[in-house]
Amino acid sequence: MEEAAVIDYVYLAWKGLRHQPLRSFLTVIAVVIGIAAVFALISVIQGAKETITHELTELGANRIIVLPGTVMGNYGGDYLTDEDREAIESIPGIKYAIAIQTAVVSAEVGGEERSIQVYGIDPTNFSRAFKTIIGGYLESGRTLDRSDKGRFVIFIGNKLAHDVFDKDILPGSTIYINGKPFRVVGVMKETHTPIDYGAYIPELAFKEVTGRWGKYIRIAAEVAEGSDIESIAEKIKRRLRAIRGAEDFRVLTSKQILQRVNRIITMLGALLIVVGAISLVVGGLGIMNTMYMSVTERTREIGIMKAVGATKWQIMAIFLSEAAIIGTLGGIAGEAFGLAVAKGIEGYIQTILESYHISITPALFISLLAFSAVVGIVSGLLPAKMGADLDPVEAIRQ
C-alpha cells in the first residue's frame, strides 16, 4: 500500500465521525463544556490580575507607604510619630510625605447625627497626593489644598455624601463635626474602601475637634520621577530603624503590594482552574468511550484494511485523527462559548469595578486549542491501539 496522505486519514476519521452523528455531537459537547469553563476562568482571573496591576502601577508607581507595627498587623497600639514623618521627608528623592491620623467623630447634618471616621492630613500637598499616591477621583467640588491649612473644611467620601445621611451632601453645605461647623469642599468618587464612609480634614482642625495629634496610622510619600524607589524605601527603613530602635514598622512600595495581591489571586485562580480542568478529564473519558465504540463497530473494516496491507501505525493514525478532530472541534466551539461566558462575567464585574476587563490573548486561544487536540489524542490512544492490534483474520470473521 502506497504511503497515505494526511488528508486520507482525516477523510477516514471524518467518515467515522459522520457514521454516528448524535454520538459524535454529544462527545464534542462534553469537550465544549470543559474547554469553555477553563477558557472563561483563565480570561476572568488573568483579567483581574491585569486590572489590579494596571491600577497599582498607574497610580502608585512613585509611591511609598510606611505603616506602624510588624507584618502581624496593627492592633491599634502602634503609631508613627512626627519624628518619623520629618525623617522620611528629609530623605533625598522624596518629594513630600502625607501623614494620616484618624479618629471617629460625631457628624451632624440637618439634625441627623452619625458617627463617622475622619482622617487628619496636612493639606499643603494633599491635592497632588490625592491624584498620584492616594489614587482618588473627584466627583464634585475640589480637594483640600494649601489654602485650607487653618480652615474648618471637609472633603468627603462618596457614601458619606449620598448614603449615610437622608439627604445628599453637596459641596458648599455644612457638616457639624463634634459640634464645629465644617464646610464641604468636595466629594470623592467611590473607591470601595473605608474612606467611602469617611472624610479628610486639615490636621489643625483635626487637632481642634479630636484633641489628638501626632499619632499617625500611615505615612504615604511620593518619590521624585526617575529615582530608584526600592533604594529609597531601603533608606527610609534604615533611618526609621535608627530613630525607633527596631524595625517595628513596614515600608511598602507598589511592587511589594502588587506581589502580595498577585500571590493571593494566583493561588485562588490556580485552584479554580485545576477544579475547572476536572471537567476536561471527564470530557476526555467521553472521547475514550466514543473511540472504543467506534473501533468496535469498525472491526470488520479494520480487518479488511489490514488484509490489504494497512500497517498498525496507519490504523492507529486513523483513529487518533478521529479523536483529535473531536477534541479540536470541542476546542473551537468551547472557546467561542467560553468567550461569551467570560464577557457575561465581565459585564457583571464592571457593575462593581468599572475598570475591569477580561484578558483575551491569541496565546490563550492557540494554547487551549492545542490542548483540546492533545486531550483528544491522549484519550484516543488506548482505543486506537486496541484497533491497531486487532488480528485481521479474526476481525474479518466478526
Residues lying near other proteins in the complex (CB under 8 A) are found at 20, 22-23, 26-27, 29-30, 33-34, 37, 41, 67-78, 102-106, 115, 117, 193-194, 197, 210, 212, 217-218, 245-248, 268, 271-272, 275-276, 278-279, 281-283, 285-286, 288-290, 292-293
Nearer to other proteins, 117 or 127 (CB): 117
Least distance to other proteins from the beta carbon of 160, Å? 12
Query: With contact defined as beta carbons under 8 Å apart, do 187 and 156 qualify?
Result: yes
| CB 106 to other proteins: min, Å | 5
Grid coordinates standing for 373?
A: 487536540
| Cβ atoms < 10 Å from Cβ of 150 | 11
Closest to other proteins by CB, 13 or 103:
103
Provide the minimum distance between the beta carbon of 323 and other proteins in the complex, in angstroms, as a whole number.
14
Nearest distance, CB of residue 4 and other proteins, angstroms? 28
Query: Minimum CB separation from other proteins for residue 344, in Å?
Result: 14
| Contact present, 132 and 59 (Cβ < 8 Å) | yes
Helices (H), the chain: 6-19, 21-60, 82-89, 126-129, 158-159, 203-210, 229-244, 254-297, 299-307, 312-350, 362-388, 392-397
Nearer to other proteins, 184 or 288 (CB): 288
Nearest residue (CB) to other proteins, 282 versus 366: 282
Cβ 75 to other proteins, closest distance in Å? Answer: 4
DSSP string, 85-132: HHHHHTSTTEEEEEEEEEEEEEEEETTEEEEEEEEEE-GGGHHHHIII
Nearer to other proteins, 25 or 137 (CB): 25
Pull the grid cell for residue 302: 479494520
CB closer to other proteins, 42 vs 310: 42
- The closest alpha carbon to 294, from 5, 25, 28, 13, belongs to 13
Nearer to other proteins, 153 or 291 (CB): 291
CB of 215 to other proteins, least distance (A): 9
With CA atoms as reference, report the closest residue to 327 among 381, 275, 387, 284.
284
Of the candidates 216, 243, 206, the one whose C-alpha atom is nearest the C-alpha of residue 80 is: 216
Beta carbons of 190 and 55 less than 8 angstroms apart: no
Nearer to other proteins, 28 or 310 (CB): 28
| Element of type H or E holding 138 | strand 138-141
Helix (H, G, I), strand (E, B) or coil at 222: strand
Residue 52 CB, nearest distance to other proteins (Å)? 16
